[in-house]
């Protein structure tokens, strides 16, 4: 008999109509649904908090990480029900805060509340249950028949049931008429010592380049006390140096020991700042390439890495290394 823990955190899946719009409720409906679905497993639940995920922040990430860490030796699998809007941030951050998980830990949610007759909640709970019982160690996100690594997931659609995609890595498992098929070679390798480390630097800024962005914003961010910046640059890797010249401002930031990570506004495929002059110029001053990482993984990884060290050489080393499958390691 598989022993499964549900950690309920709110989100659409448990939401009910209120005068001020859909509002999340506790996880009792989830527990009942899973018990009805699978009488051969035993279920327990922690109502960790009851929030729309737009309100989930570092304080809640730490609660999730601790709840998983404290309980992972007592269960075969853990299902975390969570709002879809920031689920990819939470699942990415958990990959850094809880390394070498001992059991399958599966995030899921739904686009329609479980009380709606057309809901996708039951399907998503069924898929996460299959993964939670799989004995495959890792942090996953299950949605619409697809299982992806938590640090590769991105919410790409606001309302369709296929709301999530796995970015730059194939799905680690899929569900079809053959059941649950797992791509073993995509599952990261873990050691036996599970580590909880929730120390993070939250003073991080994500800047999306537009053709009118003033590079002076970088100086303002540094004066404000921002400790690390992620820039969503253009295409394969480009940042303006003509008229609105970012090179000098970024150089000043790096000189003040503020790491600058650069990723692409394009969702798919890897960024490479070595191709164009508009990329090489910032690479030459020491920005850190995010390669094929999602923005969510890059932002949370920068927070976590800065929670460990301020040494620029070490920060760069962390970014060249895959912790939980979030980045293609450079050869």
| 151: exposed, middle or buried (Cβ count in 10 Å: 0-12, 13-18, 19+) | buried
Tell me which residues are annotated as active site: 12
Pick the stretch among 81-89, 192-200, 215-223, 305-313 that binds ligand ASP (CB under 6 A).
Answer: 81-89
Q: By the 8 A CB rule, do 107 and 91 touch? A: yes
User: Shortest Cβ distance from residue 53 to ligand ASP (Å)?
Assistant: 3
Query: How would you classify the pairing of strands 146-149 and 173-176?
Result: antiparallel
Pick the stretch among 31-39, 46-54, 167-175, 225-233 that binds ligand ASP (CB under 6 A).
Answer: 46-54
CA 98 to chain centre: 13
Does the footprint of ligand ASP cover residue 27 (CB under 6 A)? no
CA dist., res. 130 & res. 124, Å (int) = 10
User: Shortest Cβ distance from residue 122 to ligand ASP (Å)?
Assistant: 15
| Single residue of 109, 138, 188, 279 touching ligand ASP by CB under 6 A | 109
Q: By the 8 A CB rule, do 267 and 154 touch? A: yes
Return the residue matching tokens 């999602």: 294
Among 169, 177, 171, 181, smallest CA distance to 148 is for 171
Give the x/- contact pattern for ligand ASP in 132-161, rule: CB under 6 A.
------------------------------
Pick the stretch among 49-57, 164-172, 188-196, 312-320 that binds ligand ASP (CB under 6 A).
Answer: 49-57
CA dist., res. 227 & res. 201, Å (int) = 8
Collapsed DSSP state (helix, strand, coil) of residue 154: strand
By beta-carbon proximity to ligand ASP, the closer residue of 12 and 92 is 12
Strand partners, 318: none
Q: By the 8 A CB rule, do 23 and 41 touch? A: no
Among 197, 258, 198, smallest CA distance to 58 is for 198
| Single residue of 6, 7, 8, 11 touching ligand ASP by CB under 6 A | 11
User: Shortest Cβ distance from residue 252 to ligand ASP (Å)?
Assistant: 37
User: Shortest Cβ distance from residue 140 to ligand ASP (Å)?
Assistant: 18
Pick the stretch among 52-60, 222-230, 283-291, 297-305 that binds ligand ASP (CB under 6 A).
Answer: 52-60
Does the footprint of ligand ASP cover residue 53 (CB under 6 A)? yes
CA 2 to chain centre: 27
Does the footprint of ligand ASP cover residue 14 (CB under 6 A)? no
Does the footprint of ligand ASP cover residue 119 (CB under 6 A)? no
Residues of the shown chain interacting with ligand ASP in the complex, contacts defined by CB under 6 A:
11-12, 52-54, 83-85, 109, 111
């Amino acid at each position: 008999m598989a022993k499964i823990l549900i950690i309920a955190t709110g989100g659409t899946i448990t939401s009910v109509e209120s005068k001020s719009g859909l509002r999340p409720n506790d996880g009792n409906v989830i527990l009942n649904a899973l018990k009805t679905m699978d009488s051969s497993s035993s279920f327990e639940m922690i109502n960790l908090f009851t929030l729309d995920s737009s309100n989930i922040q570092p304080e809640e990430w730490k609660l999730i990480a601790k709840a998983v860490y404290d309980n992972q030796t007592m269960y075969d699998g853990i299902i975390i029900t969570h709002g879809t809007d920031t689920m990819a941030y939470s699942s990415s951050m958990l990959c850094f805060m809880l390394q070498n998980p001992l059991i399958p830990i599966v995030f899921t949610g739904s686009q329609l509340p479980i009380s709606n007759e057309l809901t996708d909640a039951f399907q998503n709970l069924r898929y996460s249950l299959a993964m939670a019982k799989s004995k495959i160690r890792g942090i996953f996100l299950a949605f619409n028949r697809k299982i992806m690594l938590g640090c590769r997931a991105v919410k790409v659609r606001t309302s369709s049931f296929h709301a999530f995609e796995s970015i730059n890595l194939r799905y680690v498992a899929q569900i079809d008429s053959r059941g649950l098929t797992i791509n073993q070679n995509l599952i990261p390798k873990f050691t036996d010592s599970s580590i909880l480390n929730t120390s993070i630097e939250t003073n991080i800024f994500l800047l999306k380049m537009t053709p009118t962005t003033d590079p002076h914003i970088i100086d303002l961010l540094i004066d404000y006390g921002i400790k690390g910046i992620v820039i969503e640059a253009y295409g394969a890797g480009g940042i303006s140096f003509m008229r609105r010249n970012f090179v000098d401002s970024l150089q000043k930031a790096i000189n003040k020991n503020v790491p600058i990570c650069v990723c692409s506004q394009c969702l798919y495929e890897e960024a490479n700042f070595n191709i164009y002059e508009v990329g090489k110029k910032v690479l030459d001053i020491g920005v850190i390439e995010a390669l094929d990482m999602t923005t969510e993984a890059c932002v949370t990884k920068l927070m976590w890495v800065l929670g460990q060290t301020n040494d620029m050489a070490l920060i760069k080393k962390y970014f060249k290394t895959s912790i939980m499958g979030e980045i293609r390691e450079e050869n």
